[in-house]
Amino acid sequence: MPGSVQNAAPATVLPQSMCRAFARLQEYPIIENEYRNGESQRSVQSTTSRKRWRLAKRLSPTALEALRDFYDARRGATEPFYFYDPYETSPKFSHDPTGQATAGRYTVRFDSEWSQSVGLGRADVSLELIELA
């Protein structure tokens, strides 16, 4: 069918050392109409939340290099991959590098461009992951 979009088909998994560097955010998408008199009208777009993960800690040079290599291999936000949320895996904080385990596994992509600042011995990187359908 013309105009159809294929579902994301991840081929790899974010390394375990990187899964622990992200903080989780949830948002519930809504449609909001605001009127001139100050009233607003809202309706829910989805019954489930859309999850995001934001890089939450400074990285050592080796962790920075590993993340940058993974980011470049995915061509930035172009290619999807699996991400294991360590709090949702069974048992907790377990990781499946093959991507076969489904507990805590999300199909995600990078949701931002690579941005970094480097200090003495550590690097601050600004990155987000976003859950795909």
Sequence spans of domains, the chain: 16-25+52-131
pTM of the model: 0.75
**Would you state the pLDDT for residue 72?**
92
Helices (H), 12-127: 16-19, 61-73
Query: What are the pLDDT tens digits along the chain (133 aa)?
Result: 566 666 777 878 888 777 778 888 888 888 888 999 989 888 887 777 888 988 877 888 888 888 889 999 988 888 999 988 888 888 888 888 888 888 888 889 988 888 888 887 788 888 888 888 6
d(CA 3, CA 23): 35
**Degrees to nearest 5, angle at CA 16 with 57 and 126:** 30
**Residue 78 DSSP symbol:** T
State residue 56 phi and psi, 5-degree precision. -120, 0
- In the block, tokens 């390394």 appear at 15
Task: Name which of 75, 90, 92, 93 is nearest 19 in CA terms.
Answer: 93
- Integer angstrom CA distances of residue 112 from 75, 95, 116: 12, 24, 12
Q: Is 38 left (phi over 0), alpha (psi -120 to 50) or beta?
A: left
